[in-house]
Chains A and B, each alone.
Chain A
Amino acid sequence: MSRPTHRRPEYRKINKDLFVLTYGALVAQLCKDYEKDEDVNKYLDKMGYGIGTRLVEDFLARSCVGRCHSYSEITDIIAQVAFKMYLGITPSVTCNNSSRNEFSLILDKNPLVEFVEELPAGRSSLCYCNLLCGIIRGALEMVHLAADVTFLQDRLKGDSVTEIGITFLKKPEEKKYRRKK
C-alpha cells in the first residue's frame, strides 16, 4: 500500500478540525453530565493526564530531543517542539520567579478554541482547554518531573491572552539525599 507522496493542504487542516471538533463535542457532553465547573475541569485534567503519559513516548520517538539540564530548557522544548508538533503553534515562554522553577507559556493563538465563540451561560469558571494542562502534567511525570500545571489566564474568560503556568515541584529524592547528609 503506497503512501501518497504529498498531502493536499486541505487534508491537514481537516485533520486538525477533527481533533478540535471531537474535543468540543467531549466538553459539551461533559457539561451535560456534570453540573459543577470544577468537576468538568477535574475530569478534563484527568483525561489529559492519561493522554499525556502516552503522548510523551510518541513525542520522544518523533522528536529525538536530547537530555535536558534545566527546567527552562524543558519548558522551551515543550513550547517550541511539542506544541509545534501537535498543535502547530509556538507559545512564548516567560520565567516567573527567581528560583527558576515557575514558568508561563503564553498562547496568542489557541487552535482548540477555533470554533468556540464564548463559554456557555452559567459556566464562567470552566477551563475549556484544561486537557492541555493534564497532558503537560502527565508527560512531565512520565519523565520523572512533578509539576503543577494550571491556567493563569484564559481568553475565553475575558483575559487578553491565554497563559498556562507550569510550576516544577521539588523531587522527593532530593530531600532524601539532603537528610542522609
Chain B
Amino acid sequence: MADEALFLLLHNEMVSGVYKSAEQGEVENGRCITKLENMGFRVGQGLIERFTKDTARFKDELDIMKFICKDFWTTVFKKQIDNLRTNHQGIYVLQDNKFRLLTQMSAGKQYLEHASKYLAFTCGLIRGGLSNLGIKSIVTAEVSSMPAWAEGLIIGLVTPTFIEPISSVGWGQCSSSRSLTSSSIC
C-alpha cells in the first residue's frame, strides 16, 4: 500500500492550508505552528497506543528513546534515526540526516526559514507519543541545511523527569535547576 505518498501529500497540504487560512497576526505569534503541533500531538498519542500494544514494558527513559529512534521512526519515516545523543539528565538530541518530509524540497538555503513549518507536526508526533508513554517533554527541531543531508535535522528533547506530574513545580523552577543551556551533551 503506497501510503507514504498519501501521507506526504496530506502533510504538505495541511501545512499550506493552515498558513493560507491564517488570520492577521497568527503567523507572527506562532499560532499556525501551534495548530500543526497539536494535530501531531493527537496523532502521536493514538499511534503510539497502537504501536506498543504488544511490546514489552519499557525499562527506563533511555529504552523509550531508543524505541522512538528505531521502531517508531522506521515505521513512520522508513528509516532509523542516525544519531542519538544524551546527557543522561533528560536531554536527548536526535539527528536525522535525511528527513523524509523535507527531501522533496530544493537544496540550498532558499527555503530554510520555511522548513520549521514542516517540522511542527513531527515534533507534536513525538511529544504525543511520549506523553502516552508517561513522559512529559518539550520537543524542538531545527534544520541546518536542506535537503537535510549531513547534520540536517536535529530534534532536541527535554524530558523533565524530576518534575512532579501536574502542578506542584512550575516550569520556571525546572529550567533553572537544570541549567539546560550549559549542560554538555556527550
Contact = CB atoms under 8 A, between A and B. Distances in A.
A55 B12 CA distance: 12
Contacts of A17: 46-47, 50
Nearest to A62: B2
Interface residues of B, number: 30
B119 to A, nearest CB: 15
Given A26-B39, A29-B39, A33-B21, A15 B4 contact: yes
A21 B43 contact: yes
B1 A16 contact: yes
B39 A11 contact: no
A15 B1 contact: yes
Main secondary structure of the interface of B (DSSP, over half): helix
Interface residues of A, number: 33
Nearest to A46: B17
Contacts of A87: 1
Nearest to B50: A17
B46 A85 contact: no
A78 to B, nearest CB: 15
Contacts of A22: 7, 10-11, 14, 39, 43, 121
Interface of B: 1-7, 9-11, 13-14, 16-17, 21, 35, 38-40, 42-43, 46-47, 50-51, 74-76, 79, 121
